[in-house]
Structures are given as C-alpha cells and as structure tokens.
Homo-oligomer: A and B are copies of this chain.
C-alpha cells in the first residue's frame, strides 16, 4: 500500500480579501512541503472566504476569484511548489448568476474546489449537495455540480467533495465507493454550534463506511459576523477509526501519514483530457478521472501522526467561540479598540473578560456610568474588574444629563428608567465617535427575549458577545473562566461579588430582576423551547412547566416583540419599491473602488 503524507490546513481566511487569502495558501503550502507533505488541502471557499452571500451576483467579484486561482497556480510554481497538489476552495461560475426565477438549473455560480498542480488547475469539483437550512442559503446562490473528479495522486485515487456533501447520504460518497477510491477529501466551511463536534465524528464515520475509504476532513477556523468556524479537522479510516483530530478554534496544520490502497488496476489511470464515466451513478453523478502522479517514494524517517485532540468542556468551547468571534470581528474590520459600559453586574463583567482575552487589556475601554440608583458595591465591583483585568477604566456619572431631560420633559415610571439607560447609550456613542472604539453591547439572550432591556439604551452597540447566550450559561461561563485562571495560577478576572449578587438593572430604588422575572433557571428552560426551538404552549406545558409561568413568559416575549416593533426591530422596516436589499457580509474586505 502506498503511504501518502497529507496536510490539512485549518486556516482563517477573510471574506473578500482574495489576495490575502491566496497568500495564506502559499505560506501554508510552503510549510506543508517543508514537512514532506505530498498533498495539502485548504477549506471551502478559501480564496473568497465564506459565506459571501450576494457578492455571488457581482461579476467583478466572481472574476476576481477565478483570476486569483490562476495566479495562485502560477505563484506556487514560482515558490517551487509546482509538484505539490494543492486543494483549494474558491468561487467559480460557468454561467450568468441570477437572483430571480429565470435562473438556469444547470449553469451559474459554483461553490468550487480546484486541484492546483504544475502551474495549472488539474481538476475542478463543483459542490453537489447545497444546504438551504439554518444559517445556509446555498440554493439562492449556487448551481449544484454532478461530476465527481477522482484524482490519482501518488498512485492513490482521491475523490473531491465539499462540506454538505458529507451531511447527506447518497451522492458523492456513494459514487466514490463505485469509483473505488482510496481517499475522500472533504473541505469545509462548517460553523460552530454547541456540541457540533459530537455530531461531526459519527457523521464522518458513516461516510467513511459509505465510501469504503479514508476521509480527510478539513474545516476553516475564525469568525465571520455571527458565525464562528471551529476547525475540528480530522481523519477517519474506512472502519471508523479516528486517526487524527485537530484542536478547535485555532489555526493548525495537521500532518499525517496514511497507508492507502493503491489505485485498482481495473480503473483506468486516465490521462488528460479526462473522460467522464456514464451518468449512471447514484444521484446521477458521473466520474472524471485525472492522473497526477504514480506511487511516490515513501516519506523518509519515522511515520508522522497528527495526534488526536480531546474535546473540551462546553463552557470552554463556548468561551473560545466568543473570544475568537469577537477578535475576528474587531481585527478583520480594522477596529483598534472596543468600549463598553461596566455596571458591576455579571453580564458586563463577562463581556469585559471576553474582550480582554480576545484583544488584550490595552484595547478595551470600560466605562462606569453611575446614576443616583447605582449602589456603592456596583461601583466597587466595576472598579475591581478593571483592576483585575487591567483594562482602561473611566468613570462618567450620568445624573447631570438625566436631570436636564427631566427638567424639560414630563416623564414618569418606565420612561425615566429607560432615560437613564439611553443617556448611557449616548455617552458610549460619543466616546466611540470621538475616539474610534467599537461599542460592545452586553445584554444576554434571556433578558433580550423578554424585553428586559432598553432600546437605544443598553442595547446600543455594534457587537454583543452574549446575544446568543442564556443567562444561566453566563454564570457558568464566569465560573469556568475564573476556575481556569486559578488552575493556571492567574488572577480570576471576574469579581466573585458580580457572580454571587442578585441581578439588578439599578434603574429605580432597590430594583431586582426577580421583581419582574421568574428565576432564570425556570425562565431559560421555557425560553429555550419557545425561542430556540419550535415548541408551542402545549408542548411546554406537556414538558412539565407550570402553565401559569409558561403563559407569563410567553406574554413577556410577545410584549417585548411589540416594544421592538414600536421603536426598532433592527434594520428599519420600509416598503420595498425596488425589491429585496442585497444581503452582503458585514465583515467583508472586498472593495470596488480604486
């Protein structure tokens, strides 16, 4: 059996930064070659970043991706890497893009994978299964491919697949079995979700069994707006054995020696032009065979193994996702620093700790904005957090501004509570305008769901690390992070008092969250079913929740939605006289202008 040393490049591309992404491919290909790799694979849509959304419809962008691919093939030769097969994801197109009903079912934009070799594109694959659920909208953007390339590398037949191809039975992996391949490479842009790593391994095992071949799975890493790609690249043998697994949330070059079956003598070691097999495979796919190289000399020295990284606990996984997501949002968008309000409470303390882990304390500004209702311990807890983390700490009392509104308007009750939060929002925005910081918001998912926050007040900001984190998990994250600090001999960043004290908005005398909300453990359990899930009232009651509490919580969610309608559901509602707005990535380095 030939031995192939493969390299999986778990790297962090940036959407729109085509030349920067190509540079990453050159650097990592060099490193792979220096380590003796005979094949290196990069993630899905490596050259463009992922997802590019409506940039697909911009011809200038598609053209740039295709040109960058050709340039990259040439540059790899210049780098002395012409003999190394480099597998790289990119955006291609073999027909006009269309955002309407006239779309062609057979030609258009493609989610593509190229094998670069000898200064040219030796093989291309167009993604077959296009996901159109959850965070994915690929039916809008891409036309599916129906040809599976089998590329002979070092005497081993290697099939090429992309991401979703792995998540559905049938299709490319079944065709790969018929084509008797020795290895299937699967390149990914697979976003993190809690416990998704527990789903991937069994899935890769099922496909390895379906294909009867080893699977090399490479995923990108990094933040892209609301998505975080977690890596978790791995290699699994046909019998389901996990041979190697990369760590999550960090860039990594996974190198591993694989003994793989020599290409069958029955299958033609075809030379170019590649000849497609008849379209009689499962799911109507045909096979194109491309010959790159006969068996290569075995790698010298002791066998190289990539090792197996063990999964971390849930809190550690979420913490790393939040840190990486914030860091990439800040850095990829070119912000130098962030600013947030520090109330002394648990939410802003956890956001500050995440920001310091992501950016370092010099790039984080924390502002204490006490009012007449702020307790002494709140001011102290905010100062204590600043001391422990070393962030840039300021104090800006809000009472003079609040009083100027109250002197000029007739306000009472909730309006006065909201006014205080809005004065804080105006203060943070003034600091952002004056000094250039990105404003961080700190509301957790539980309080946002039930409307326990002030629109244009504590909701002001461009990025909220906790927006998808339930309050119960916020506490767990705080405890986990502090324990990690103790374990590594450091200072726990979050003051114990911020974790232990009963939560309060401190917008009126003696106010506590528990005056208004059920206990967070009860609240969160109901919200998880209603907001994250698709459970109705009867499902929730059937699951054992108190019917009165269920109705109370559902009423709070409904009222919160009403209040958001009244002032801002986010992007302002308008009437579409000109069709749908373009959906473009927020973090996006693509620039048309010169």
Contact = CB atoms under 8 A, between A and B. Distances in A.
Given A438-B565, A459-B572, A101 B430 contact: no
A192 interface: yes
A376 interface: no
Interface stretch (A37-45, A258-266, A421-429): A421-429
A554 interface: yes
Interface in A269-317: none
Contacts of A536: 58-61, 592
Interface stretch (A173-181, A204-212, A462-470, A502-510): A462-470
Contacts of A587: 565
A145 to B, nearest CB: 18
Interface string A542-577: 000001001100110010011011111111111111
Given A408-B396, A434-B410, A135 B568 contact: no
Nearest to A99: B133
Interface stretch (A19-27, A85-93, A578-586): A578-586
A545 B469 CA distance: 48
Contacts of A84: none
Interface residues of A, number: 128
Given A405-B426, A456-B426, A577 B412 contact: no
A36 interface: no
Contacts of A396: 408-409
Interface stretch (A73-81, A120-128, A213-221, A224-232): A224-232
Contact of A100 (B134, B414, B564): B134
Contacts of A100: 133-134
Contacts of A578: 193-194, 468, 532
Nearest to A556: B593
A334 B318 CA distance: 39
A430 B456 CA distance: 11
Most buried by B among A410, A437, A570, A573: A573
A537 B414 CA distance: 49
Contact of A404 (B131, B403, B564): B403
Contact of A465 (B134, B531, B574): B574
Q: Which 6 A-B pairs have the closest CB atoms?
A: A467-B574, A60-B536, A404-B404, A570-B570, A554-B593, A570-B571
17 contacts: A60-B537, A226-B576, A334-B562, A400-B404, A400-B407, A415-B434, A418-B429, A423-B426, A426-B456, A429-B455, A438-B565, A438-B566, A461-B572, A464-B573, A467-B573, A532-B578, A561-B586
